[in-house]
Amino acid sequence: MKIKIIQPGLLTTVQDSGRFGLAHLGVPCAGFMDEPSAALANHMVNNSTDEGLLELTWTGIEFKSEAACSVALAGAEFDVSVNGARVSTDAVIHLQAGDVFKMEKLRTGVRAYLAFAGGLAIDSMASSVSTLMVAQLGGYKGRKLQSGDVLFLKKPTTLPNNKKPGWKKLKTPSLHVIRATLGPEFNLFSTETCRQALGQAYYLTQDCNRQGFRLQGETISFPENYGMISSGLVPGSLQVTPDGQTILAMKDAQTTGGYPRILVVNQDELHKLAQIRPNQPIYFFVEHQ
């Protein structure tokens, strides 16, 4: 009824669709960075699409299964082996008690989702099992997984061979266009600055985590005498800092912020950001409003 982590990977956390209703206390929603990929992994093993699973970033995981169970991997594509033999991730993977599941080379994307049929047995906190590392809250002991951790499965089951449809596999364009709306502080920037900010390319820096992505672009002229009054901040907000650079709020972002927001990414586009790699260009497309 359990799995034992041999290698946890760089950043592996338990996530579900997020923790809502506590933002007034300053609790960020957390949750899947790439929701459609997580839903696909859950769907492949007949879980509900918001079931808690493992989100893996940049590197995979190696674990030993102590019961027969079925797992599915979606989002970033990895080479995967079971007991040293390569297996395809295009379908559900069936494990027997004692099998060692290992994710090896990352092929495409950044974040992968590993769903277990029946789900992980994790205590929910405020109706969610999502890990919020900055507050050491939720998930598995409020932290990323470590070697030797033991995760229990709710009811390990093996399933028929659900497949991953080819058209649902992660696409990784080299140039990203993300739909957005104008931010609440848009009108504090000059017309020329706005034109520049909406037309230019932004490059994802190495400084990108579940809280926020620092982007690098042409310097944006910061509004003069800006009052810095904080207000409610949603994931996807592009905040301009006084040095003229930008920070894109992500799922673990703070609930309020004071930096002026020049635009806010549409919520159904957030998942695309989760699979962008550093140094890739991002353009924001704001529909006429």
Partner 1 sequence: MNNGDCALTINFIATETRLALIHALCAEFLTEPMPEMINVIPATTSLTLVFAKQIKHNNIIYDGVLDRVNAVKIHEKATILHTIPVCYHPDLAPDLPAVLAALSMQVEALIEMHTATTYQVSMLGFLPGFAYLNDNHQALNVMRKATPSLQVDAGSVAIAGNQTGIYSMASPGGWQVIGRTPLELFNWHEPEKPMQLNPLDQVVFESISLNQFLSMKSQA
Binding residues vs partner 1 (CB under 8 A): 20-29, 125-126, 134-137, 181-184, 211, 227-234, 236-237, 241-243, 247, 254-259, 261, 264-268
Whether the Cβ atoms of residue 13 and residue 30 lie closer than 8 Å to each other:
no
Nearer to partner 1, 157 or 254 (CB): 254
Nearer to partner 1, 87 or 134 (CB): 134
In whole angstroms, what is the distance from residue 17 CA to residue 39 CA? 9
Nearer to partner 1, 28 or 118 (CB): 28
Residue 228: exposed, middle, or buried by beta-carbon count in 10 A (0-12, 13-18, 19+)?
exposed
Minimum CB separation of residue 152 from partner 1 in Å reads: 22
Minimum CB separation of residue 109 from partner 1 in Å reads: 24
HEC-encoded secondary structure of 262-288:
EEEECHHHHHHHCCCCCCCEEEEEECC
Minimum CB separation of residue 272 from partner 1 in Å reads: 15
Minimum CB separation of residue 222 from partner 1 in Å reads: 9
Nearer to partner 1, 73 or 240 (CB): 240
Nearer to partner 1, 7 or 255 (CB): 255
In whole angstroms, what is the distance from residue 249 CA to residue 55 CA? 18
Buried b or exposed e, range 207-217, using 16+ CB within 10 angstroms: ebebbbbbbeb
Minimum CB separation of residue 31 from partner 1 in Å reads: 11
